[in-house]
Chains A and B, each alone.
Chain A
Amino acid sequence: MRLDAMAVRFPQVKGHPNRVDFEGILTLVDAASDRAPAGARGHRVLLTRAAAEAALPSLLGMAVDYRPGWDGHDAKRKIGLITEADVVGRRLTVRGYLYGRDFPEATEEIRAAAVDVMGMSYELADAQVADMRAEVWTLTKATFTGAAILLRDKAAYRETRFRLAG
């Protein structure tokens, strides 16, 4: 198994009232999405491992957002922060924290959801597609601009996960 990791270090503040740790599987690498993502003109996409690893630094410090109904992205509702990103096998995992005090209802909804219900979705900018005519778009370069917490069945990758730690 190959592992690539990257993190930004924040000072530990024990019992911080506004930090609720989370972890999640943001996407899979070298695997085609189960469904076509928004912006991909109906094509399923495959993020190569090399592109994902190269883009890891762009993921750190980006926000996680949510939309009421948990069915998509809303960049104006930034509910937390990504502080760590790893590529473990074919999984791109992320860790960070939600602003639990600022978004108590949303945090509680996530906490109350069943284990396998919530997933994640990435936001990419300036993606490079190897062949625009291919049935599955292979992304060879991209920049992460954020991520969303949403219901797994609304995510283009069904294998994504999201859960609060503890």
Chain B
Amino acid sequence: MRRGLVIGFLCLLGFDIMAQLGFKYAALAALPVSPDAGWLLRVLGQPAVFLALLGYIGAFFTWMSLLKHAPIGPAFAASHLEVVVILPFAAVLFGERIGAWQMLGALGILSGILCLALDEAHGDEAHGDGAHGDEAHAGPA
């Protein structure tokens, strides 16, 4: 069971990263951005957009499967970990520079997510309620 959960979390992380990379590749390929149908058609015509959609769908089904067995607290935290794990991908694939402020921000966000995860886990123990905790999950951001 434990091994299955670890594999499930890694899959979730993989799908989330795939979605974000798909978004970025599609966005770059459709430059310049403009508020018109031309840009929208250009961006929707990029194969990478489907990578993003596939990542979304994969993440959704992995998340729903994980919630059947995983404690909500750690699941909640893991579902947001791509926020930090994406940084080395951005540096390597897109040559982005991760500055000190970004590192500090990432640390703050990660600490905040851990607090929220601990609260969810504690709430489940106290109330036996596993239904909440996913309200902030899902979505491109």
Q: Do A and B come from one complex?
A: no
Residues of A within 8 A of B (CB): none
